[in-house]
Structure 1
């Protein structure tokens, strides 16, 4: 039982180094510790602006690129993406501790990050691309577990949590 990160890249603009993945795994552990989330898998995909624009258009009705999108798997609300599995995919596959028989964790959801947006924002804010990717990853994770920033109060709480996690990881501005 643990938090797991799976990732892939569908962009060629920025090399996703093993050190960056190690840092993102550290951030995932820190997020889990801070938010009392000890189990689950987060699927992370690095994309270009065109791919994230298409996803933003399809799922949010906004025909423009954005920096990060999150698709939570744990709760289905009015605006959540419902994932439908085949009838035999998960029947009787959970053991007593909530982990699937084959050792895979239950998915928390997907995070999609636009690398070109991250690079541009890192330049704009005057910090490293790794710091920006870390920020976007933590932001996406907090969305997966139910945080939002629709109101000023929600935004203050969510962004405060993000900064705490980034500070613990040494990713300062």
Structure 2
């Protein structure tokens, strides 16, 4: 389940993009072995809001394109499929029958600018940022080169599965 809250006015989110974001959630969860219906909250915010949150949580006084706030904890270097199994998920990890994965914040302004800078559609940029964040919610990271390569490979795989290219 994707919960969307839009508090920004820089971009209009097309219905086709919303459909593609929901599809991305389904494809990534299936590909990563999540056996329960997930619950993810997606907040579309403006640059000022994401900058304030970035400063508060990460100590970085700068605008960023996307922030991820996982609900689950992972051992260093481990991802969902390596840490969680049906028998070790605890009741507090669920809302009704849905597995609480966490929150994603995307700056509409930054997504729009990056789509322009990279020469592709806003839909492609939004889906990429969402896939990137979903992987963070599932334990992936890009701090070390080996982790970055692993995460990038998964991003490319899912973007291909979704049929979203750089055009």
TM-score (norm 2): 0.84
Q: Give the helix-richer structure, 1 or 2.
A: 2
Partner of 1:12: 9
Query: How far 1:77 moved relative to its partner?
Result: 8.1
Query: Deviation per CA, 1:72-124, whole angstroms, max 9, x where unpaired?
Result: 1112789xxxxxxxxxxxxxxx5xxx865xx4523110000011111111111
Greater Rg over alpha carbons, structure? 1
Structure 1 stretches (4+) deviating beyond 3 angstroms? none
Q: Please, which of 136, 142, 151 is the counterpart of residue 143 of structure 1?
A: 136
Q: TM-score, normalised by structure 1?
A: 0.81
Bigger mean CA deviation after superposition, 143-152 or 32-41: 32-41
Unaligned runs of 5+ in 1: 79-93
Q: Distance in 2 between matches of 1:147 and 1:48?
A: 25
Name the structure 1 match of 2:116.
123
CA deviation after TM superposition for structure 1 residue 16, in Å:
1.6
2:19 corresponds, among 19, 22, 25, to 22
Pair 1:45-2:43 in alignment: yes
Residue 170 of structure 1 pairs with residue 157 of structure 2: no
Long gaps (5+) in structure 2: 77-90
Residues in 2 aligned to 1:142 and 1:12: alpha-carbon distance in whole angstroms: 27
- Please report the RMSD computed on the Cα atoms of aligned residues, expressed in angstroms: 1.8
Map of 1:68 onto structure 2 = 66
Whole-angstrom distance in 2 between the partners of 1:76 and 1:58: 22
Could you tell me how far apart the structure 2 residues matched to 1:72 and 1:149 are?
A: 15
CA distance in 2 between partners of 1:165 and 1:133 (Å): 14
Q: How many residues align?
A: 150
